[in-house]
């Protein structure tokens, strides 16, 4: 095992994938320079400009080229810089990549990884701070992944590269410098959740950077005698229903926490599924339906903090099962 950052783990996963399969190529803005977060550092020097391809500033062109490459037998990794910019390429992803396998009876496959960094980026305002995972979970044909740790960013990127379907790969913008141990031998199948801690007072489900806030809240709750199950969903679609429902059936209470806007967020899908299957009490905690502000005092209004989570969990834990 080695200690590395979230960005270094991703670069290593991609290096291993490119070493193993000559069909894996990278394309996007600034990838030759290592990417704006260092997630491609050293790859163009190792594999050359024919496999790590710098592109013009045109998201529709970049993603459209990736779809064509995938249909022609390559396994492209498409860099969108941030999810907000990927909105310029929705037709290529939603109407082409996601639907091709279905529309042509499986004759065409689009084994493509589209990297879309998500989440609030300090003082970056409304067009650089969105969490849009629920948009893509809603689209049949797409796999959606949100790794929260360096280990998962390594293992899940390896799994995404091996997938035969288009994968929307959503790394949080403020996690790039987070450090942790990475075991290259550890495989993480897509659709498998991670149990962060065990408890019987309630089930807490989250993903991406918000797992850190939930872990902090769980420590505070435990100090007051409230022990929670904390589940890092990791994959948004497919999501690990079995792990979540087993926990909800045992605790009788579910709190879903995400950084995305609460209205129509993916937490609603989890809450409804759990309530229908187990009859548990449910509560959601997400951002208000406002654009993320630039000024710190406005940005703070969009953040779901550990104290917010503690307050919600205490309220839920006092409700009857």
Give catalytic residue positions.
128
List the structure tokens of 292.
């993320």
Contact assessment for residue 103 and residue 112, using Cβ atoms and an 8 Å cutoff? no
C-alpha–C-alpha distance, residues 321 and 258, integer Å: 23
Helices (H), 176-292: 210-223, 241-251, 266-278
C-alpha–C-alpha distance, residues 83 and 100, integer Å: 22
The Cα-based distances of 114 to 159, 165, 286 in angstroms read 13, 11, 25
The C-alpha angle 192, 279, 288, rounded to 5 degrees, equals 70
Hey, how many other C-beta atoms are within 10 angstroms of the C-beta on 293? 16
The Cα-based distances of 75 to 24, 26, 264 in angstroms read 5, 9, 32
Residues 6+ apart with CB under 8 A from 185: none
């Amino acid at each position: 095992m080695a200690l590395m950052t979230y960005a270094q783990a991703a670069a290593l996963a991609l290096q291993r994938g490119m070493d193993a399969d000559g069909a894996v190529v990278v394309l996007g803005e600034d990838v030759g320079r290592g990417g704006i977060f260092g997630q491609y550092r050293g790859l163009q020097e190792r594999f050359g400009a024919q496999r790590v391809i710098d592109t013009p500033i045109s998201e529709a062109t970049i993603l459209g080229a990736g779809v064509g490459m995938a249909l022609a037998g390559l396994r492209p990794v498409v860099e969108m810089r941030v999810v907000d910019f990927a909105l310029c390429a929705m037709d290529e992803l939603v109407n082409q990549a996601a639907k091709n396998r279905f529309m042509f009876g499986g004759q065409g496959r689009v084994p493509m990884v589209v990297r879309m960094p998500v989440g609030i980026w300090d003082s970056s305002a409304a067009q650089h701070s969105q969490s849009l995972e629920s948009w893509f979970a809603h689209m049949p044909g797409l796999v959606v992944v949100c790794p929260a740790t360096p280990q998962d960013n390594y293992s899940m990127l390896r799994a995404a590269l091996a997938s035969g379907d288009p994968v929307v790969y959503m790394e949080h913008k403020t996690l790039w410098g987070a450090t942790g141990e990475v075991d290259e031998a550890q495989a993480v199948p897509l659709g498998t959740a991670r149990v962060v801690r065990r408890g019987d007072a309630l089930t807490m489900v989250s993903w991406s950077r918000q797992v850190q806030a939930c872990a902090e809240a769980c420590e505070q709750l435990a100090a007051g005698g409230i022990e929670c199950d904390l589940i890092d969903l990791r994959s948004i679609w497919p999501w690990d229903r079995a792990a979540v429902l087993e926990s909800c059936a045992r605790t009788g209470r579910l709190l879903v926490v995400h950084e995305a806007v609460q209205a129509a967020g993916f937490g609603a899908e989890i809450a409804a599924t759990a309530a229908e299957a187990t009859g548990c009490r449910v509560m959601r905690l997400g951002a208000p339906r406002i654009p993320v502000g630039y000024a710190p005092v406005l940005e703070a209004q969009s953040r779901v903090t550990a104290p917010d989570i503690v307050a919600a969990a205490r309220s839920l834990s006092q409700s009857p099962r």
